[in-house]
Structure formats: C-alpha cells, structure tokens
C-alpha cells in the first residue's frame, strides 16, 4: 500500500505541474509568488529561520484582522529547540523540506500555533514556508495541546476540564513542526487530493480522492460517516465554538469510535493527515503517550488513547508515503 501511495503521489505531482500551464504565475496573488521571498533553499534547514517579508506580515494582519502581529526572532536557546525538532523529522518529510522549504518565520501574537503556506516559481514548482507562534517555546506539548483542545468548546460547565497528555518531555514546538511538516509534504506529494481550495484552483487539480481519503471523506471537509461533532469543530476562536463542554464525554466517546485521531483532524482531509502523522510519530517513534481526559472536579469522567483505536491502527500504513523515499 505504501508503494502504491508513493507512485500515485508522483503521478499527481507531475500532472499538477503540467496542468499549471492553464494558469500563469503572474495571475497568482503576490503572497503565492516565490519571487517575493528570500529563498535560502541551499542552507541547512534550521538556518532558513529569518524575518518574514513585509508582504507576508501585511497579508496575515489583514487575513486575521490582527494589527498586533510582529516579527519575532528566536533566541539561541529557541534555535536549539528548532534544530533538535528538525533532526527528529521522518526521512521523506525532511527531504521535502530540504528541497522545497524557503523560510521559517515566527510571528508574535499569531492566531493559532502554526501555518504551512505554498508558493510557486515561474514554472509552477511548489515551494512552502512555515509561520509559527513563538509562544509554543514556553510550553510542553501537553500544555500546548490542552490549551488548544479547550478552545473547541463552549464553557457551559466550569467544573469540567479537558486534558491532553503527551508526557512531560516533548516541547510544544515539536508537535507543531510535526503537524505543519505533514502539510508541507502533502503539498508536494499529494497524499490527499489537495491541502486547500486556493491551491486546488491554481493548480487545476480535479482528482477528488486518494488512497488516504477514499474510505473516509466524500469532500474536502465532508466525512463519509456523520458524527456528533461533524461540522461543529472550531479552534483558536476562529469561528464560534458549537460544541458544549457539557457534551464532551459524548463527543470523545464518538471520537474514540471514529477513524480520526483528534477532533481537529475531523475538520478536513488535510488536517486528518497532519494530525494522524503527528500523533503517530509522537506515540510510535518518540514513545510518548497520547491520552485525552475529561474531568469533573478532578474526577475522571472519560479517557482514551486515540492511537490505540483499531480504527486508527488500520490507517497507519497509509502514512508510509510520508516516511520513505525522496522527492
């Protein structure tokens, strides 16, 4: 199955470049044109960390309606965290970054934890860059993910708390990099049909499914099976939460029976891949736990280990396209 995925990905990538002839790079918004960025493509990956271009800052401020977005340059200690996190990445994902990553940017007060965005050169070749929130440097993965998970719920019962346990060893930045790197690989390898709608449009992608999505998705953000949380998942105060924390036990019981590693992964097939890949690496490679608890006044109401679910385990071979080979 892994080899089939890789072969399909190579065919899709070639098709995307060939069909790009229908759209010229000059028709793209400047944010997606490689020529508007400094490219350190021949530098070691950690050394591609530099200040974001002003065009990107203006774009993100307008997109998120946030005037307080400011560039941030990591300290020497934080650069060590970046270097160590990159060193842990799977071989094929690291190969994608080596050949296509043009920059790593940090923006203070950024909404959410991270972003992977695409740009094209004049021939239609896909490159990517990362934007990260530097606040993650001060948190463990457990702290960061607990904070993130709680943004998904309306707090209609203050006695209920949700905790995500990934141990105490992993820095929060490690999780974010694993998640965003899976998106980067997806842009290049096409493990899902496409990562976002603008990318589909400009690359003229018509394919509606891949091996990864065909049994679980009937559209970019429409799952084949309906769950209590379907189309109700919002994070980081981007959109208003629709799930009540008083419903959280029912929500997580449904999630434990679903093919999705997290609620965030049920938002779209792109997030499904990124979450499954990140938590697979955390649990099966780094050997750390991944457990979700629902507590009321410190008493456990429900807990489960998503990556131990039979529904999840049978999907893990589909991640082979991210792990072996080059680009």
Is 208 a residue whose pLDDT tops 70? yes
Q: Does residue 325 lie within any of the structural domains?
A: no
The residue that leads in pLDDT, 236 or 34, is: 34
Take residue 154 and report the two structure tokens written for it: 């309306």
Take residue 82 and report the two structure tokens written for it: 């970046």
Q: What is the pLDDT of residue 11?
A: 33
How many domains does the structure of the chain reveal? 1
The residue that leads in pLDDT, 323 or 134, is: 134
Q: What is the pLDDT of residue 250?
A: 98
Average pLDDT of the segment spanning 263-281: 97
Quote the mean pLDDT of the chain: 91
Take residue 168 and report the two structure tokens written for it: 């105490």
Q: What share of the chain is helix, strand, coil (3-state, %, to 5)?
A: 45, 15, 35
Q: What is the pLDDT of residue 24?
A: 64
3-class secondary structure per residue, 203-222: HCCCCCCCCCCCCCEEECCE
Q: Does residue 229 lie within any of the structural domains?
A: yes
Take residue 239 and report the two structure tokens written for it: 């959109």
Q: Does residue 261 lie within any of the structural domains?
A: yes
Q: What is the pLDDT of residue 10?
A: 34
Average pLDDT of the segment spanning 214-242: 92
d(C-alpha 57, C-alpha 37), whole Å: 12
Q: What is the pLDDT of residue 325?
A: 63
Q: Does residue 326 lie within any of the structural domains?
A: no
DSSP 282: I
**Containing domain of residue 193, as a range?**
2-319
d(C-alpha 29, C-alpha 9), whole Å: 26
pLDDT band at 238 (very low <50, low <70, confident <90, very high): confident
H runs (alpha helix) in the chain? 2-19, 54-64, 76-87, 91-100, 141-150, 172-189, 197-203, 248-256, 269-280, 310-313, 320-323
pLDDT band at 72 (very low <50, low <70, confident <90, very high): very high
Q: Does residue 96 lie within any of the structural domains?
A: yes
pLDDT 10s digits, 12-52: 343 344 344 445 666 889 999 999 998 889 999 999 999 99
Is 89 a residue whose pLDDT tops 70? yes
pLDDT 10s digits, 277-286: 999 999 999 9
pLDDT band at 192 (very low <50, low <70, confident <90, very high): very high
Is 235 a residue whose pLDDT tops 70? yes
Q: What is the pLDDT of residue 14?
A: 38
Average pLDDT of the segment spanning 50-56: 95
d(C-alpha 115, C-alpha 8), whole Å: 26
d(C-alpha 140, C-alpha 165), whole Å: 10
DSSP 292: E
Q: Does residue 327 lie within any of the structural domains?
A: no
d(C-alpha 126, C-alpha 214), whole Å: 24
Q: Does residue 324 lie within any of the structural domains?
A: no
pLDDT 10s digits, 112-153: 999 999 999 999 999 999 999 999 999 999 999 999 999 999
Q: What is the pLDDT of residue 237?
A: 73
């Amino acid at each position: 199955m892994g080899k089939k995925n890789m072969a399909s990905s190579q065919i899709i990538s070639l098709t995307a470049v060939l069909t790009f002839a229908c759209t010229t790079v000059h028709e793209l918004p400047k944010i997606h044109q490689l020529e508007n960025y400094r490219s350190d493509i021949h530098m070691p990956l950690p050394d591609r960390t530099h200040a974001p271009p002003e065009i990107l800052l203006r774009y993100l401020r307008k997109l998120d309606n946030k005037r307080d977005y400011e560039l941030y340059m990591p300290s020497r200690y934080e650069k060590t965290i970046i270097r160590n996190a990159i060193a842990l990445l799977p071989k094929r994902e690291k190969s994608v970054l080596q050949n296509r990553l043009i920059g790593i940017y940090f923006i203070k007060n950024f909404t959410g934890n991270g972003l992977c965005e695409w740009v094209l050169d004049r021939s239609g070749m896909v490159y990517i860059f990362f934007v990260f929130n530097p606040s993650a440097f001060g948190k463990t993965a457990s702290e960061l993910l607990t904070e993130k998970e709680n943004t998904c719920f309306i707090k209609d019962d203050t006695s209920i708390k949700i905790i995500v346990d990934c141990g105490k060893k992993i820095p929060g930045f490690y999780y974010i990099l694993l998640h965003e790197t899976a998106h980067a690989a997806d842009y290049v390898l096409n493990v899902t049909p496409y990562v976002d709608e603008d990318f589909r449009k400009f690359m003229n992608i018509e394919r509606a499914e891949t091996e990864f999505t065909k049994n679980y998705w009937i559209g970019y953000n429409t799952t084949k099976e309906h769950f209590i949380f379907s189309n109700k998942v919002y994070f980081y105060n981007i959109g208003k939460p629709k799930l009540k924390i008083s419903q959280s036990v029912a929500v997580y019981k449904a999630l434990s029976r679903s093919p999705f590693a997290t609620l965030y992964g049920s938002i779209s097939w792109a997030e499904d891949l990124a979450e499954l890949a990140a938590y697979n690496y955390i649990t099966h490679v780094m050997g750390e736990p991944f457990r979700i608890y629902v507590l009321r006044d410190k008493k456990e109401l429900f807990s489960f280990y998503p990556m131990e679910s039979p529904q999840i385990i049978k999907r893990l071979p589909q991640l082979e396209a991210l792990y072996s080979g080059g680009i």
